[in-house]
Chains A and B, each alone.
Chain A
Amino acid sequence: MLESPEKIIMTTCASHCGGTCVLKVHIKEGIIIRIETDDGEEPQLRACLKGRAYRQRVYAPDRLIYPMKRVGNRGEGEFKRITWEEVFDTVARELIRVRDTYGPESILFLFHPGDMPQIHTPKQIHKLLCRAGGCTVPWGVASYQGGVYASLVTYGTWRTSHSRDDLPNSRLIIMWAWNPASTVTGTNTCWYLAQAKEAGAKIIAVDPQYTNTAATFASQWIPILPGTDAAMLIAMAYVMIKEGIYDQNFLDTFTIGFDRYKDYVLGIEDGIPKTPAWAEPITGVPASTIEALAMEYATTKPAALMAGPSPGRTAYGEQYHRAAMVLAAMTGNVGIHGGGGGGRTWESSTWYPYRMKFGLVLDDPNPVEQVAVKGGIPSIYVRTAVHYVDLPEFILKGKTGGFPRDCKLIYLVNCNYVNQFPNTNKITKALQKPEFIVVHEQFMTPTAKFADIILPITTFLERNDIDLGVGTPFYGFVRKAIEPVGECKSPLEIARELASRMGIADFEDVTEEKLLREEVKGSEILDYDEFQKKGIYRIKLEKPYVAFKKEIEDPTTHPFSTPSGKIEIYSQQWAELSDEKLPPIPKYIETWESRNDPLAKKYPLQLLSFHLNRRTHTQFDNIPWLRELEPQAIMINSVDAEVRGINDGEMVKVFNDRGVVIIPAKVTERIMPGVVSIPQGAWYNPDENGVDRGGCANVLTKDQKSPGGAFPYNTCLVQVIKI
């Protein structure tokens, strides 16, 4: 008998891991049998372990492959199979009922990226809800809202990154809590870091944890206490001012407000000079180390301050990002090759030269008024009434809690809400309240268990789409490799079916193909069919892309997009808010739940939530190949373990007033004493007493947002004891 031929489909990975990489999917008899990656010319766009393991995800025995409705209580996970007809009829009916009874504002559209392609994103359902009368859309990006805030205030844009191939042009790279070995943040990022190091760049890591990136590339590790990064950056500014080693010419030409900042740094404003000695007890970093790093950064050019987003995920985390950007300006490293503006480093696909039409830009007109928050500057995210961190309170209390509306229905897509937002135990209570909850999912996640109806969704290997390169500029065609598994449908198909039942005409002629062609119209891709055939369109840049290059080279023609046209060290917009927690210049503001909080007597350890590279947030946690690589465990320094009698691998109880997690301890020297860290993304798995056995960090985190919208995952006190 003749063997059926094996064919290879070239596609790009649309997962949310931080890259967009080439996958060559081997198919036999309609089944994926292997996945290879780019083997063409360098720079190849090689996929990480998650892309390589995607076969196990597509065919996972626990994949949701038909629609279901809940039969047990919310959260119990008992469901029964239903038909798509019943799904569409029920969901359409409920959407109309809730809209007509309570108003469209009582429909909450709850989403996060999930995957990172352009067409099959939360945008489709958002559009549907908007056409049906509107919905409430919460604001805030969990990963980097602090960075968004700070970038918009300082530079007038959040597009602040260089392409990753610019890293080898740096002579000094300061990896400030930046860990691309785990978080990827652009295909090939670590490869370029390796090249930078081999070209002689000095690489220094500032981080409470000795991450894999630090271990591989850094010649020096400077451990710093969580939530104090702004203090160290401000003390570095002090050193540069005192030593007269900052770029006054740059500041005069391109910035406004440095004198106001200088007054604060030197203590003229408040009587407290922000010396390294001042910062030492706050940050846990010796004054001499702060001084040396400041000298090094000010005198080595070009230097890239890679300010990772995790210190921004603290209370007042916006200040850290602002302080980093000011330091980049003081050293004149903005807009030059090998330098960097100290902006947010999770640069997705929002930068030049792409012309984004779809993606996650939810720009469909929403008839429901999205009240601008106080201090909200116009941005695609900062404009709505309710912040993600406040959602449990909003869902529970609505108008009685001072919110502008109630929440009666939740339409939840691409988001493991229970697991990934602060205060899981409060979220699970809140999710008992709405009259109806719809969830799009691929697996029975902790969140899906709270759905009334679950709609099984295709993976990106089961539909066509487009990727925009992250870190390296290219368009990738996400080609459908296999037919949908089971009865899974794409978000676009679902939106179309619901639209037809709700009397919305806008989806009738909207096809995947039409959207894809529209996406590339006006881009560098002149021939869509050719692009589709080749699978990838690389954008050739003569030199690596550098943010703000034209603003620096030709400031008269190209002012910064701030109100003043300059880099705003001092922001008049924010001065007008008169909010001391959103100061017009970057300041160090001590967090709640810091080591000095009276609560620290009871809960003396600072908890961090970091990324393992075997997961993308909660995705892939259930994939056996990946799961067995590293156990879910809390990192604890040997000093803290010893006083608690904890040995490596033993089970410990991690707790505070918000919840209890029981997981193994990983006793290590790779984390500083006084700090513990749970890898985020493990699935919440409560026992009969409500104790989480899954290792979900958000059982412990606090649902209080930072004034600029940062999600304070890394501001959290806990105690750890042996059990």
Chain B
Amino acid sequence: MQLAFYFNQTRCIGCYTCVIACKDWNNLPSGPASWRRVITIEKGKFSNVSVAFLSMGCFHCTNPPCMAACPTNAITKRGEDGIVIVDKEICLGKDKCGMICKDACPYDAPQFEDRFDAKMQKCNMCFDRWIERKKPICVDSCLTRALDAGPLQEIQAIYGDIREAKGFLYSPKVRPSVVFKPK
């Protein structure tokens, strides 16, 4: 089974509530390491301008490029749900290894704090919450109910199978586990 995210880009108001809910749940300090990010895509010239928001965590790819790139096998993919996790004990740290995983990821999922040899950290799809039959904190926080998560096949059955959105390119090689309603 592979868990996947759904993101309804037509509903996202760019409010960052998912970002903060994630930091609070996972007790992340302020600073550059943010497991969830919202990016703004502004296009066009006044007054024909279009703006879209994209909320991104880790997409827990079928073939995670971070995992392939990691020199110490610190990154693994869980068999039971396909969640990609990192073992901080094994991770070399950003200065020793040069953040190869970050470079390998097309979606900016691997995150590092701004200190010497900070270990990689990233969205773990709130695997602790699934145990309590709860969805990831970002999903449960979204003010416009633009996010969802579940087994990929169920998500596809509910929302269809559009794999791209404004600001997001689907990589057939790594196969990110995400379905969109694009703007």
- Chain A residues with CB under 8 Å of chain B are 33-37, 39, 46-49, 52-53, 55-56, 181-182, 188, 190-191, 194, 197, 210, 212-213, 215-216, 221, 223, 613-614, 624-629, 637-639, 668-673
Contacts and interface: CB of A to CB of B under 8 A. Distances in A.
Contacts of A52: 17, 20-21, 24, 141
Q: Which among A39, A210, A614, A672 has the highest number of chain B CB atoms within 10 Å?
A: A210
A669 B44 contact: yes
B4 interface: no
A212 to B, nearest CB: 5
Contacts of B17: 46-49, 52
Interface in B79-108: none
Contacts of A191: 143-145
B51 interface: yes
Interface stretch (B6-14, B69-77, B156-164, B172-180): B6-14
Contact of B24 (A34, A613, A669): A34
Contacts, number: 113
B15 A194 contact: no
A626 B13 contact: no
Contacts of B23: 53, 625
Nearest to A192: B144
Contacts of B137: 36
A588 to B, nearest CB: 23
Given A53-B20, A216-B13, A625-B20, A37 B51 contact: no
A624 B28 CA distance: 11
Interface string B23-66: 11101001100000000001011110111110000000000000
B165 interface: no
A175 to B, nearest CB: 13
Given A55-B24, A221-B49, A613-B15, A46 B44 contact: no
9 tightest A-B contacts by CB? A624-B30, A215-B51, A181-B13, A49-B20, A669-B49, A49-B17, A669-B46, A52-B20, A194-B11
B47 A223 contact: yes
Nearest to A179: B13
29 contacts: A33-B27, A35-B24, A36-B25, A37-B140, A39-B134, A46-B143, A49-B17, A52-B17, A55-B24, A181-B13, A190-B13, A190-B143, A190-B144, A191-B143, A191-B144, A194-B146, A212-B14, A215-B50, A215-B52, A216-B14, A614-B16, A624-B30, A625-B23, A625-B30, A627-B30, A638-B45, A669-B44, A669-B46, A673-B46
A215 B27 CA distance: 31
Contacts of A56: 30
Contact of B19 (A47, A49, A181, A624): A49
B144 to A, nearest CB: 5
Contact of A668 (B15, B42, B47, B134): B42
A90 to B, nearest CB: 37
B142 interface: yes
Nearest to A624: B30
B158 to A, nearest CB: 15
Interface of B: 10-17, 19-21, 23-25, 27, 30-31, 42, 44-47, 49-53, 134, 137, 140-146
A185 to B, nearest CB: 12
B15 A49 contact: yes
B42 A194 contact: no
A379 B143 CA distance: 35
A19 B143 CA distance: 12
A637 B144 contact: no
A636 to B, nearest CB: 11
A46 B141 contact: yes
A637 B13 contact: no
A49 B44 contact: no
Contact of B45 (A35, A36, A669): A669
Q: Which among A49, A181, A190 has the highest number of chain B CB atoms within 10 Å?
A: A49
Nearest to A42: B145
A614 B142 CA distance: 15
Contacts of A182: 15
A400 to B, nearest CB: 49
Nearest to B38: A629
A216 B11 contact: yes
Given A36-B140, A46-B142, A626-B20, A213 B51 contact: no
Contacts of A188: 143
Contacts of A628: 30-31
A711 to B, nearest CB: 26
A672 B16 contact: no
Nearest to B49: A669
Contacts of A671: 46
B58 to A, nearest CB: 20
Contacts of A625: 20, 23-24, 30
Contacts of A197: 10
Nearest to A220: B47
A602 B24 CA distance: 48
Contacts of B47: 210, 221, 223, 669, 672
Given A56-B30, A191-B144, 19 more contacts: A35-B24, A36-B25, A47-B141, A49-B16, A53-B20, A53-B23, A190-B143, A194-B11, A194-B146, A212-B14, A215-B53, A216-B10, A216-B12, A223-B47, A613-B16, A628-B31, A639-B46, A669-B49, A670-B51
A482 to B, nearest CB: 16
B52 to A, nearest CB: 8
A222 B138 CA distance: 33
Nearest to B25: A34
A275 B141 CA distance: 47
Contacts of B51: 210, 212, 215, 670
A148 B24 CA distance: 38
A278 to B, nearest CB: 22
A670 B30 contact: no
Contacts of A47: 17, 141
Contact of A210 (B16, B19, B25, B49): B49
A215 B12 CA distance: 10
Nearest to A38: B140
B179 to A, nearest CB: 18
Contact of B144 (A39, A194, A668): A194
B15 A48 contact: yes
B111 to A, nearest CB: 13
